Chains A and B, each alone.
Chain A
Amino acid sequence: MVGAGPAGLTAAQALAARGIPVLLAEQGPVVGGWAACYACKAATDCNLCGVCLSARVSRTMQPGAGVTLKVDAHVLGIEGGPGSFAVRLAHRPRGVDVSRCTGCGRCAELCPVAAIAQPHPQALPMAYLLDQEACLRARGEECVICREACPFGAVLLDDTPSEELVQADVVVLATGFEPYPAARKGQLGYGRLPGVITTMDLERGLWQHGPEYLSRLLPGSRRVAFVHCVGSRDLAAGRGWCSQVCCPTALRLAGRMVRELPGLEATLFFIDLQRCAPGIARLFDDLPPEIHLVRGIPGDVLSEPGGLLLTFEDVATATRRQELFDLVVLAVGMDSPGAAAGMPAAAEGFLCDLPAGVVAAGACGGPVSIPEAVGEGLRAAGAALRVLESLS
């Protein structure tokens, strides 16, 4: 099982529940994929964003119950066929022994340069992470403070990358997506203008800092623009698909922002609003008065003395308009991370036409929401079981 996002975690648990031993390899230090770092978007009531589901999937993951979890393990390549796959794993040095660290935090209390820390407060596993670049040893010093401090002998100061070959009968790829690199759309100013962020930045900022993040981003200001379809439905950018989650996500984020910061006004700039299920349509039907909808995508974002100037074609009135904002949030689409683990991908980069015995699950096959990714995990588990049955 490659990748421990919502899809991979679900598939691993579903297979383990049928008595199939599973090796779950995740390149990152913790499980959960992107969704592990998303914010709750409830306004007065839950807005059904799906993050609760991804939290549950991570929470119910019981390492040991049939699933061997390997974090910091990047899958480099897969060879062979059904019943005899050889999977090449590259271990990234974590600097901490996951099987011994209890997360006690003693190392972090004593490290003089804060080079060792927990991944995040709901991380699974909760084992700490050593940032080898920040560590004093990277500067040639002989510091062993954390290693000495650890009551469990869990610090591995000389952890080095290594490779491993593991055998598998069937491979499930749940390698997920990458957010569209918004900086590629230079005219929108991402990475160049301070007030321009992406929905991914907002998700993570809210998750990490809570509402404080908003007041920090926006001290005293109140006009926020959300620009939809950044890196989606855009043949010029080489991305001819709708990413499906960004319309509801932008709306939910806007909903939470206007609730948290009184006086804030948000405008969504879109082509078509994807009110793709009754529960989502209702969110758009019951808009709070602080949220405005404009059909039309701004071509560029300019920094002006009064704020960020957006120029757009307002489709409803067929007029060219300009408006100033304090913050511009780009609703970035879901991109493929490219050919994962040496597997074939379609022109858009999403996985397709996989060899026999390899199954894809979740966002690596195309844009999905969290609940859909979980469903994909179930589906892939079924497909993998079928392959296993055909082997025996």
Chain B
Amino acid sequence: MSQPVILTMKQISKAFPGVQALNQVDFCLRQGEIHALMGENGAGKSTLIKVLTGVYQMDQGAVWLEDRPVQIRSPQEALSLGISTVYQEVNLCPNLTVAENLYLGREPVKHGRIDWKESIRRAGALLNKLSIAVSPSAMLDECSLALQQMIAIARAVDMNCKILILDEPTSSLDDEEVAQLFALMRQLKQAGVGMIFVTHFLEQVYEISDRITVLRNGERVGEYDTSALPRLQLVAKMMGKDFNDLAVIQAAPKGQVDSTSPPVIEARGLGHSGTIKPFDLTIHKGEVVGLTGLLGSGRSETVRTIYGADRPDQGSLKVNGRPVKISQPLDAMKLGMAYLPEDRKKEGIIPELSVRENIILALQAKRGLFHLMSRKEMEEAADRYIELLQIKTPSRETPVKSLSGGNQQKVIIGRWLLTNPDYLILDEPTRGIDIGTKTEIQKLVLELAGQGKAITFISSEIEEMLRTCSRMAVLRDGAMVGELAGDQLTQAQIMQTIAGGKTVQEDK
């Protein structure tokens, strides 16, 4: 039953200015097991991983590989010891091709020079094997976030490693890709690779993992066999209190759609040539409209055209019944819109600025250059949202880049809530957010709708959408192909529409 232990971490401690990210954490990994590392945002999961791979140096503790004590001082050493990692934030080079990213640092060499043909060929084979639909010679920055994530995974699994670390690899993947990844993980498991798997999706943990280690506030809560730890108990261990996410959501009231007053958003034939075909979309007060579709189906592009992030080149838009022209995001903001972008690293956070500045930035921009918010006002606003969203940060003056991934996301949500918008566009707002807060956010969405705000919600998780949305628009290949409401809102029906099933009448 018990496989040999291949990795032992003992009494690991790591402090950052203002926080003890890890406090005497033990961890052990067996051969051929999938070990889930669980915890709330900021619990220290990524830090533990980065200590193991030599990105950070630990303050205290020791690491053994099999029964050999090792000192890992850089990712390079980790690699050479057979530890391969997919980090939480995609870490690839945007200026290189997909093939180059796959083989960087270990390019096939023939006669003392890099054999590009071989590299492209191997990359093609690897991508094929993992069913990643991208040309090896495409530039990485032309790939979507999900593709980049898959490429990072491909790179890691191709390394012939003994230990594979996956830090939230599934946060931007859709179900099909997750299934693929899991199939691959099972294969590697057969081959005896030990895997550390971090995720906030509980279903995935139960589907794939053998054991679970739970962290809370930088301390280890315990290590459990997955089969022996029911879901509710796991959540309780992570949060340190009892919590039933589903109950919370079901208790929340659904918004009352107000279809008497003019719709908040009324798009007619709005489109952006080259990315999305003209579409119609009407959203009323108090309504949560979901946008769904496969990755790359144009969900983000659709909302970006409404918001003016990409300037629409056809069609018209009415806000509260009045025709408007939006040529830049500020116009949209002045009309009461808010847009939480999908890619938080590239388009969301201002990394060097503090949590406070990141939170107030949108409101300040809306007010204008000459109406600087007073320091007190800023601090109050920041504190309010740190409290409300339970943002875990040493202080409000900490640069946002040193927050954990999930907490960065919360900062950006806070930024938009602060502007008190009438129409809120949320593109993957719960990506990388822990289960407790995720439920809070879903609840918040319903509450906001209850207050009469209009909301567009995009998520790769259909269940989450089903819980929050009162209506859903389905996109395929950049075109809106159907709308579902009421009884039609079932998982099966949605999947069918996405895939292009014929049972759904297009439009009403």
Verify that A and B bind, or say they do not: no
Residues of A whose CB lies within 8 Å of any CB of B are none
Interface residues of B (CB under 8 A from A): none
